Amino acid sequence: MKVITLGTGSPLPDPNRAGPSTLVRTSSGDFLFDCGRGVLMRSAAAGTGPLGFHTVLLTHLHSDHTTDFNDIVTTRWAMSPTEQPLRVIGPVGTRRFADLTLAMLEGDIGYRMAHHRDLAWRPTCEVQEVSDGVVFDDGAVKIIAAPTDHAPVRPTVGYRVETEGRSVCIAGDTVPCEGLDQIAAGADVYVQTVIRTSLVRAIPSSRLQDILDYHSSIEDAAATAARAGVSTLVLTHLVPPPWPGTEEEWGDEARAIFAGDVVVASDLTELEL
């Protein structure tokens, strides 16, 4: 199994960081977790793309985590030699989100079907809404969901991928909570979106101060990792974007609490398990 942080950015545009998205490559295929801005460009650099995605899994429906969902839908459809519905797993509300995306794309769908005679089917999504428990199991790969806490964004979920005796926790946006502890317990890799509290507090914007109460800080993520007994903590979705050369300051804050390995992810960071 391989974990690739395709995008490690946040809602704040950064020329070096695409929107939040993590790829977990397994023997059963490539599972894409969230799809922020630029995900298809980053996936191309990782040697995959819409036709290579086994399933797209959404942690929640905030725009920065779903910005390029429409790009995945359109590009997969337009590139497919035969009809291939996009498999999507996400919290309650994902089916409506997919339906609204297809409705938004209606004009483009019509243009392409009118021009390409061999494009005789419409794009479709096979959506599975989940909240807790096993959401995928083909005998080689098992994926488990658990509710997380990103209130007032509800519902939100995190995921645990298990295969060949290894495990990865993809947390999404959340503060520490019971569901997060469940999917992180004993994980080889724990991928957590984080904010650096001291930097956010230094920015004179009440709207930015608001993010402090529904994201994990670096300290929160480190404490969760220590409590869960994970091997490697991966910090992603870094808010605010680190000034080049200061990335290890983020890692050092985590290491003060967590004794395992800490990775301050960049786009296309790869971890082989």
Residues annotated as catalytic are 64
Q: How far is 156 from 153, CA to CA, in rounded Å?
A: 7
Please identify which residue in the block is written with the tokens 């490690």: 8
Query: What is the number of helices (H) and of strands (E) in the chain?
Result: 10, 14
CA nearest 187: which of 140, 214, 224, 215?
Answer: 224
The strand pairing partners of 169, in sequence order, are 160, 190
Residue 190, number of CB atoms within 10 A of its CB: 30
Please identify which residue in the block is written with the tokens 């502890």: 181
Helix spans in the chain (H): 39-45, 63-66, 69-79, 94-104, 106-115, 178-184, 197-201, 206-209, 218-228, 247-255
* Radius of gyration of the chain measured on its C-alpha atoms: 18
